[in-house]
Structure 1
Amino acid sequence: MSGTGFGESLGAHAARSRALAVLRVRSRALAVALLPAAVAVVLFAGDAAGHMSGGSWDASRWAVSVFAVIVLLLAAAVAAVIVRASPALSPTVELSERAAPDLYRLVRDLAERLEVPAPSALALTPDCDSWLEDRTHPAHAIRGGSRRRGTEAPVLVIGSPFLWWMRVAELRAVLAPVVAGTAPSAHPDIAAARRFVRGLDAAVAVAAAPGQGPIRKVALGFVGGSTRLLLRSCQAPASEMERGVAAAASECAQAVDYGLRIVAQEQVGLAYAGWDRLLTRVALPAWRMGRWPSRLDAGVVSALTELSRRDRLAEGFTSRLGERPACDLLEEPGAIDEAASLLAARLFHGGPAEAGPDWSPVDWQQYPEEVVDHKWRTEAARLHRVLDELGVPPSTGPDGPTLTRVLEHLSGRGAEAGETLAAGIMAEVAREEAAVPPPPKSPGDALNGWGADPLPLFPLQPPRTGRELLADHVTAMVCCAAVDTAGAVPGLDWLDGPALLINGERRADLATPVLSLTEDGDAAPLRSWLSTLGVRPEKPVRLV
């Protein structure tokens, strides 16, 4: 193995050869740009030697010279955009050595065992993945710090859920092949090929940016076309180069915790499943209410523990929880978890970059009361506002919003009533969302290096249909009635989100009777469900 850890494996040879193929694309592009100038030089040299003189030669000489100047100017413009364009920077939570000295020590010890350069810094991402990221571009200078040198090792980005769910030994095993990738990053040919491809990608993004003036749009149109052509030419060899790098890094890492890494990869898949459920079922309802759970990474442990309890395929995984968790490598895990949770809300929902009056954190202990109950009553209030707009009369009996009013409207007027109500709710939700101004970017926003893409960058779910919204709102109204008249309480299910608890047990059988009402106009199953639990649909409920 070489001093950089990038040895003579088949993957290393393949990566180097593919890197040279990428650089040959750059060389050919340069040769094409210089070809007219070379022809002009030959013509002028022939004239000086007395071999290419006369009217036709003079005209050709000046025509080629003018064409060469134009080509050189265009090539210089394209090259300037490629060099100056800032490659997209992954939104992350920066992790200084003071905030995680033990984690830095673990990564450096791992790099020493692998005989590769240690990453220059660490960062966290609210996702179940880890990678190396080159941040040596001048635009990627650390805020308030000095410019990073082009020879620095890349930054190691670690998925924050890994730190809370994985044990220290498992994290080291999972990071081994990632850290081993610092060796090819130090190879000059591979580093140059990567810089060229990233520059092309950034230039394409600059050319496609909206809001350009007519002259600038025409100029950038030529730049965009040229860089896209070069990028397509590089696509195949660049992909093969990265596969070779991954193969070489994996082979390099086999000497470190190989057996444990096989087991740890199972934890990666489990963590991804739990993280996805936590975001879509638990965090998303809170984000829609203007609240963001401040301990998402800690919540993923509860979600995965619950998944292990329910899924026999995950049995035995919770027995690891007695070992030291990787989050112990952080000095202040709570503060890091809060920062990662806020970034997750920004990436996946488009929330503001900072907490505020309309965007406040919520603890898991407060979630049932401040998110679940508030969500139900807000949706129930919206449901009755739409019924008022449609001219639906109130139900007979006590004054106030009742569940009976909803049941009578949906069951007494056929499928058309459900479609009309669903359309009204969808329009009301759209009006409320349109009234919310887009969150501004602050100077310390982690997305400042990403570009001008609209938020959220990674939507968790497609927009809900009218039927889905109707079912959600009817469910919310039923839950409000159960809480106000039958002693039920709002709760939190780590895998399914808001839950209705009756006598301390979650009722998961509400979806079917609600769908019978909203889809078929049949209220009998829901009335039977309400009667069994002692819910009084004719009683008014408290709304927001």
Structure 2
Amino acid sequence: MSGTGMGVEKGARSARSRALAVLHIRSTALAVALLPAAVAVVLLVGGATGHAVGGGWDTARWVTSAVAVVALLAAAAVGAVIVRARPATSPTVEVAEQSAPDLYRLVRDLADRLEVPVPSAIALTPDCDSWLEDRTHPAASIPGETPRRRRSTEAPVLVIGSPFLWWMRVAELRAVLAPVVAGTGPSAHPDIAAARRFVRGLDAAVAVAAAPGQSLLRRVLLGFVGRVSRLLLRSCRVHAAEMERGVAAAASDRAQTVDYGLRIVAQEQVGLAYAGWDRLLTRVALPAWRMGRWPSRLDAGVVSALTELSRRDRLAEGFASRLGERPACDLLEEPGTVDEAASLLAARLFHGGPAEPGPDWSPVDWSHYPEEVVDRKWRADAARLHRVLDTMGVRRATAPTLTRVMDHLSAATPPDNPAAETLAAAIGAEVAREEAAAPPPAPLGVDADGDTGPLPLLPLVPPRTGRDLLADHVTAMVCCAAVDTAGATPGLDWLDGPTLLVDGEKRADLGSPVLTLVEDGDATPLRSWLASVGVRPEKTVRLV
């Protein structure tokens, strides 16, 4: 037997043994629940046959019968919640076979080469990861899919990170998916599948018990169910984790027979895609989301971001030849439609945006991003800055100017600069009020047991401090003045987000003078910067 075959067999055996350990815990729990009933049956039969008679035996029969009834009712309640509770499923964009026949063909061919079952479906997630997801639980459902009862033997769903489809080439995607698809082999084993369903059911039952907004009676009953489920989960934790490690090891060993050399190269692209995706979301998409706009081509944007990253790192020549190969998004019939759906889901997961477009939540194309997002963001921040200054009673001229802001922040003596501290706190309070007044996002999905939890599920950045907000608002005011008085234009940097363009060139040197003004109350560096660009701070700035 080859080394690969031995590795596959070893990993599969380890996974099966751990699965049996999980099922043994399930059987033990069932036996404990049935034990009082078994004792009661023995005592009742003994009394009926004349072998256990007398006052003491009668009392024992009544007590054990009562305990048996309570134990059976409790076990039935716990079992019903575990069976009916909806397991957590990842929010994804479902890809039907008719909309991506080439992608399904690639996955099917890959499964045939690996000699494993073919995934039952393909879905995309707006993240840089790929995995198999079991959706065979009777209560599980996919958003947008007609409810139906799934067979427990149905293969898991293949979830693919949408950035991979746009950044990777077809051969790279196949190499990256090989160990993931290989996982359908161990997953098809009845013991492993049963153990996974049991653990997922326990996890779902714990979530149901912890759901808020329940009545007192329901909270008491579900509290008992939650405690039992948590106890069983703790008992299964080690075995379940080792089972998954065994499955992963078996899948990895089996996948070595397919594109192993290319997979090493493709893994480098996975790391690069993650870096570009993170920068795109935090620097480019997040400002748009905060403005009530969502970029509708995020996956296409990650290609531009990574191309820019490679250019800055002087890797463009090597990547140019690679980008000449067929991209994996060509496996989709309508990549633009899929990209739009994934982009909307990303905004929902990472920012908590609405589920559907609307007047206050509309898509924006990359070509319109500078005018519809960057310029609007700057002017909204500048308007908020002057509105707060008005509230604080700071003397104002007939129209808003940059001079007013600089004079106020440079009036105090460093290092304390109380003017900046007070203004930062006031801006933070104003932003908090605006966010609190916004309607809360609707949950991702609601079932009989409650919703999936608050959004966003995966916040991108921690809350900004008052000083950060003040620096952002002063920067926005400077950019507005540059646009209105010096002919500058708003721009988009794929890695840094909104940027100021002067004579078509990015000006990345604005941050330091602004921080000096905010932190030290010294406006001299900023005035020098304004003079070099030709900005006239005393001129009126348009705020809307």
Query: 1:533 & 1:171 partners in 2: Cα distance?
Result: 47
2:41 equivalent in structure 1: 41
Q: Give secondary structure in 1 for the equivalent of 2:457.
A: coil
Deviations 1:353-392 (A, max 9, x none): 1111100100000001110011000000000000000000
1:246 aligned partner: 248
Residue in structure 1 matched with residue 199 of structure 2 by the alignment = 197
Could you tell me whether the CA contact under 8 Å between 1:93 and 1:446 is conserved in 2?
no
User: Quick one: which of 215, 226, 229 aligns to 2:228?
Assistant: 226
Q: Which amino acid aligns with 2:516?
A: S
Are residues 1:433 and 2:435 paired? yes
2:399 corresponds to which residue? 400
Mapping of 1:259-270 within 5 angstroms? 259-270=261-272
Q: What is the match of residue 144 of structure 1?
A: 146
TM-score by length of 2: 0.95
Q: Provide the rounded CA distance (Å) in 2 between the counterparts of 1:369 and 1:385.
A: 23
Residue 118 (structure 1) aligns with: 118
- Structure 1 residue 109 corresponds to structure 2 residue 109: yes
Task: Name 2:510's counterpart in structure 1.
Answer: 510
Instruction: Tell me whether 1:304 sits opposite 2:306 in the alignment.
Output: yes
Counterpart Cα distance in 2 of 1:525 and 1:316:
41
The amino acid across from 1:505 in the alignment is: E
Helix, strand or coil at the partner of 2:132: strand
For structure 2, the residue ranges without an aligned partner over 5 or more in a row are none
Cα deviation, residue 50, structure 1:
3.1
CA 1:379/1:323 → structure 2, altered by over 3 Å: closer, same or farther? same
Alignment match, 1:237: 239
| Equivalent residue number for residue 409 of structure 1 | 408
**Contact kept in structure 2, 1:6 and 1:184, CA below 8 Å:** no
The residue type equivalent to 1:374 in the other structure is R
For the 8 Å contact 2:8–2:254, the answer to whether it is kept is no
Q: Which whole-Å CA distance do the structure 2 matches of 1:138 and 1:95 have between them?
A: 22
> Could you tell me how far apart the structure 1 residues matched to 2:452 and 2:116 are?
36
Provide, for residues 377-420 of structure 1, a one-character-per-residue CA deviation record: whole Å limited to 9, x for no partner.
0000000000000000025xxx3111110000001024111111
Residues 452-471 of structure 1: pairs in structure 2 closer than 5 A: 452-471=452-471
| Structure 1 residue 522, shift from structure 2 partner | 1.2
SS in 1 for 2:78: helix
- Pair 1:170-2:172 in alignment: yes
What is the DSSP-based 3-state SS (H/G/I as helix, E as strand, rest coil) of the residue aligned with 1:211? Answer: coil
Distance across 1 between alignment mates of 2:516 and 2:447? 47
Task: Call closer, same or farther: CA 1:448–1:311 in 2, change over 3 Å.
Answer: farther
Matched AA of 2:107: V
Amino acid at match of 1:332: E
Q: Retained in 2: the 8 A contact 1:135–1:141?
A: yes
**CA shift for structure 1 position 145:** 5.5
Tell me the secondary structure at the aligned position of residue 202 of structure 1: helix
Residue equivalent to 1:421: 423
Question: Are the equivalent residues in 1 in contact too, given 2:299–2:339 (CA < 8 A)?
Answer: yes
Give 1:8 deviation, angstroms.
5.5
- The 3-state SS of whatever aligns with 1:139 is coil
Q: Who is 2:531 aligned against?
A: 531
Give the whole-Å Cα distance in 1 for the aligned partners of 2:47 and 2:169: 77
Q: Residues of 1 paired with 2:160 and 2:489: CA distance?
A: 38
Q: Which amino acid aligns with 1:403?
A: L
Q: Is the 8 A contact 2:8 2:253 kept in 1?
A: no
Checking the alignment, whether the CA contact within 8 Å between 1:6 and 1:248 is kept in structure 2 is no
Structure 2 residue aligned with 1:179: 181
Aligned partner letter, 1:256: V
Tell me, in whole angstroms, the C-alpha distance in 2 between the residues paired with 1:388 and 1:318.
53
Distance 1:313 1:222 in 2: 59
Contact 2:7 2:253 in 1 (8 A): no
Determine if contact 1:274/1:304 at 8 Å carries over to the other structure: yes
Distance, in Å, in 1 between the alignment partners of 2:419 and 2:446 is: 44
- Give, in angstroms, the shift of residue 47 of structure 1: 2.6
- 1:296-346, CA deviations, whole angstroms, 9 ceiling, x for partnerless residues? 000000000111111257872343100000000000000000000000000
- CA 146–214 in structure 1, closer or farther in 2 if over 3 Å, else same: closer
| Residue 68 (structure 1) aligns with | 68
Which one of the candidate residues 334, 337, 351 is aligned to 2:336? 334
Query: Partner of 2:455: helix, strand, or coil?
Result: coil
Deviates more, 1:272-281 or 1:136-145: 136-145
**2:268 alignment partner AA:** E
Residue number in structure 2 paired with 1:322? 324
Q: Aligned letter for 2:72? A: L
Seen in structure 2, the aligned counterparts of structure 1 residues 438 and 407 have a Cα distance that, compared at 3 Å, is same
Identity among equivalent positions (%) equals 79
Contact 1:516 1:522 in 2 (8 A): yes
8 Å CA contact 1:6–1:12 kept in 2: the answer is: no
Counterpart-to-counterpart distance in 1, 2:31 and 2:267: 47
Q: Which secondary structure does the structure 2 equivalent of 1:490 belong to?
A: strand
CA contact (8 A) 1:88 1:451 kept: no
Unaligned runs of 5+ in 1: none
TM-score between the two structures when normalised by the length of structure 1 = 0.95
Q: SS of the residue aligned with 2:367?
A: coil
Question: Residue 412 of structure 1 aligns to a residue in which SS?
Answer: coil
Q: Specify the code of the residue in structure 2 equivalent to 1:224.
A: G
Contact 2:83 2:201 in 1 (8 A): yes
Segment of structure 1 superposing worse, 239-248 or 519-528: 519-528
Change beyond 3 A, Cα 1:294–1:464: same
CA contact (8 A) 1:411 1:522 kept: yes
Q: Distance in 1 between matches of 2:139 and 2:75?
A: 23
Distance 1:446 1:113, change over 3 A: farther
Q: What do the CA deviations read for 1:217-275 (whole angstroms, capped 9, x no partner)?
A: 10000000000000111111000000000000000100000000000000000000000
Does the 8 A contact of 2:446 with 2:452 survive in 1?
Answer: no
Give the SS at the match of 2:458: coil
Q: Once the 2 structures are TM-superposed, how far is the Cα of residue 478 of structure 1 from its aligned partner?
A: 0.5
AA in 2 matched with 1:106:
L
Asked whether the equivalents of residues 8 and 249 of structure 2 are also in contact (C-alpha less than 8 Å), the reply is: no
2:409–2:419 CA contact under 8 A, matched in 1: yes
Q: CA deviation at 1:531?
A: 1.3
Within the candidate set 357, 360, 366, 2:359 is matched to: 357
**Greater mean deviation of Cα atoms: 424-433 or 200-209:** 424-433
8 A contact 1:343–1:446 mirrored in 2:
no
Q: 1:23 to 1:275 in 2, by over 3 A?
A: same
CA contact (8 A) 2:83 2:139 kept: no
Deviation, structure 1 residue 6? 11
Please give the alpha-carbon distance, in whole angstroms, between the structure 1 residues aligned to 2:278 and 2:445: 22
The two structures, once aligned, show a CA RMSD in angstroms of: 1.8
Deviation of 1:141 after TM superposition, in Å, equals 4.2
8 A Cα contact 1:117 1:153, kept in partner: yes
